[in-house]
Amino acid sequence: MNDPAAVAAPGAPSVAGASPPSLRRALAAALLRDLMVTARHRADAVTGLVFFVVVASLFPLGVGSDARLLREIGPGVVWVAALLANLLSLPRLFVADHADGTLEQLLLRPQPLPLLVLAKVGGHWLTTGVPLVLVSPLLGVQYGLPADAIGVLVLTLLIGTPVLGLLGAVAAALALGLRGSGVLTALIVLPLNVPLLIFGSGAVQSQMAGLEVGGLLSLLGAILALALVTVPFALSQALRIACE
Amino acid sequence: MTPATTAPSEAAGRIHWFRYAAPQQFYPLAGKVLPCLWGLSALLAVAGLYVGLVLAPTDFQQGDSYRIIFIHVPAAWMSMLIYVVMAFWAGLGLVLNTRLSSMFATALAPTGALMTFIALWTGSLWGKPTWGTWWVWDARLTSELLLLFLYLGFMALQAASDDPRRADRAGAVVALVGVVNVPIIYFSVQWWNTLHQGSTINLTRAPSMATVMLWGLLLMVFAFWAYSIAAALHRVRSIILEREKGTEWVARLTETQ
């Protein structure tokens, strides 16, 4: 379970009467705590990654190994696998913290909650999203994508996985503690992920067709910017609703 | 909140804007308005169907199969309108902490989902005679499908919460996040559809409108609108009774029946 020493340190004054730590220290502490907890349960992060690879490997078994067909469906399959791997990792965000009361401590801190949860989701992205981005070239090679297309695939996943993490966090927070929360989270978040899927795999397909990809990458970047600015507020509201 | 026992003579000259924000006041108001709305929607539907099925001419290209638009288009417009209205009331309930706003959002969701389903079903029926296939990954149909998932997510989240206030507020967050995303989803699906056009078929456009067809369409839109409001009001009355069942006025109401 979660390490109590890691819980007590961030955000709380160590000496009675001392002023609360600066915003920067509190955010760093929130981020580091998440990384530390994941480091102690490495298996959780790795299983998500393994799921990503397994799902992407199932499709050729289902549709046949025709190289041309695989090259066509490759970007879409890798992106769908990334979506599903992200979905599977969502319970790790809040369930354990909610169960032992750490989440309520997070809500009680003097620092602004949207920034704190942004740090938390950032930590989650570092352990969930970044491994996906790093492994995706291997999957690209499995599907026979050309090198420049793999480059675009990595770039779209790099921009897209933080948004997946943010949107997934909102869904996970809303479904926290409810019956059937796993499926419910999926039902809420998957329609919201559709634009990312369309633009992400569309960019790779455009690159393979020799078309311009700058516009699509800009759109992805715009979605990321919008998500970074608006989702933390929805997320903090969802957490307050779930914890009261 | 305005006390419900204010006598009309005391209230004369002052408009109590939030009088009907109380479930106890809204319940009888909705009850009075409902029969008129049902009647209006039936009337408009009969008129619209007469214009659409009898008066409107046969289309040059599509023959008589285009007439499904008199159901398909109003249902699709209603599905999108109801989603926005539902998000508005849910958001209002979240911000102002009013129960009735959230109850109304909950009441609107099944009607909106039904409209979306009807739009998908009739779109499928339209595709069969014109293009020989039951389902087409047309941009608009795909957007409708995603809208259906958004409605189902909202309804599932509310159904999974045992505490009604938590259901209200969680549903409001989902509806608000969804309503911001709907334009993005719609635009991305449009773009996706143009990218993958090539040899794939596109769902038929409605024939360029003769005035008669337009009139039929407008009548049906208003018929569906009246129906949706009536269905939502009817449903919200049931929700009010269920949520307020511990109060005295509901006990008095149910014991006299």
- In DSSP notation, B175-220 reads HHHHHHHHHHHHHHHHHHHHHT-TT---PPPPPPPPHHHHHHHHHH
Nearest CB neighbour to A178, from listed B161, B187, B192: B161
End-to-end CA distance of chain A: 23
Distances in whole angstroms, Cα of residue A139 to Cα of each of A44, A143, A153, B85: 21, 6, 10, 44
**A238 within a domain of the structure (yes/no):** yes
Tally Cβ neighbours within 10 Å of residue B205.
Answer: 10
Q: Over the stretch A61-118, which tens digit does the pLDDT of each residue have?
A: 999 889 999 999 999 999 999 999 999 999 989 998 899 899 999 999 999 999 999 9
**A163 within a domain of the structure (yes/no):** yes
**B24 within a domain of the structure (yes/no):** no
Structural domain harbouring B222:
69-255
Tell me the C-alpha distance between B68 and B24, whole Å.
Answer: 41
Confidence band, pLDDT 50/70/90 cuts, at residue B94? very high
Confidence band, pLDDT 50/70/90 cuts, at residue B200? very low
Q: From chain A, pick out residues whose CB is under 8 angstroms from the CB of B160.
A: 175, 178-181, 184
- Which residues are CB-neighbours of A157 under 8 A, at least 6 positions away? A78, A79, A82, A129, A132, A133, A136, A200
**Residue A39: is it exposed, middle or buried by C-beta count within 10 angstroms (0-12/13-18/19+)?**
exposed
**Residue B220: is it exposed, middle or buried by C-beta count within 10 angstroms (0-12/13-18/19+)?**
buried
Q: Over the stretch B10-32, which tens digit does the pLDDT of each residue have?
A: 555 677 878 888 999 999 999 99
% of chain B beyond a pLDDT of 70: 89
Q: Over the stretch B166-195, which tens digit does the pLDDT of each residue have?
A: 999 999 999 999 998 888 888 888 888 877
Residue A196 has a pLDDT of 94
Quote the tokens at residue B123. Answer: 């779109």
**B30 within a domain of the structure (yes/no):** no
Dihedral in degrees, nearest 10, Cα atoms B42, B47, B50, B55: -170
Structural domain harbouring A45:
21-243
**A159 within a domain of the structure (yes/no):** yes
Quote the tokens at residue A155. Answer: 């770039």
Q: How many domains does chain B divide into?
A: 1
**B25 within a domain of the structure (yes/no):** no
- Which residues are CB-neighbours of A226 under 8 A, at least 6 positions away? none
Q: Rounded mean pLDDT of chain B?
A: 87
Distances in whole angstroms, Cα of residue A46 to Cα of each of A41, A80, A104, A125, A134: 9, 18, 28, 13, 13
State how far residue A220 is from chain B, nearest Cα, in angstroms: 11
**A4 within a domain of the structure (yes/no):** no
Instruction: Check if the beta carbon of residue A212 is closer than 8 Å to that of residue A164.
Output: no
**A133 within a domain of the structure (yes/no):** yes
Instruction: Check if the beta carbon of residue A114 is closer than 8 Å to that of residue A236.
Output: yes
Q: How many domains does chain A divide into?
A: 1
**B19 within a domain of the structure (yes/no):** no
Instruction: Check if the beta carbon of residue A205 is closer than 8 Å to that of residue A233.
Output: no
Tell me the C-alpha distance between B160 and B163, whole Å.
Answer: 9
**A34 within a domain of the structure (yes/no):** yes
State how far residue A145 is from chain B, nearest Cα, in angstroms: 19
Q: From chain B, pick out residues whose CB is under 8 angstroms from the CB of A199.
A: 188, 191
**B57 within a domain of the structure (yes/no):** no
Q: From chain A, pick out residues whose CB is under 8 angstroms from the CB of B153.
A: 184, 187-188, 191
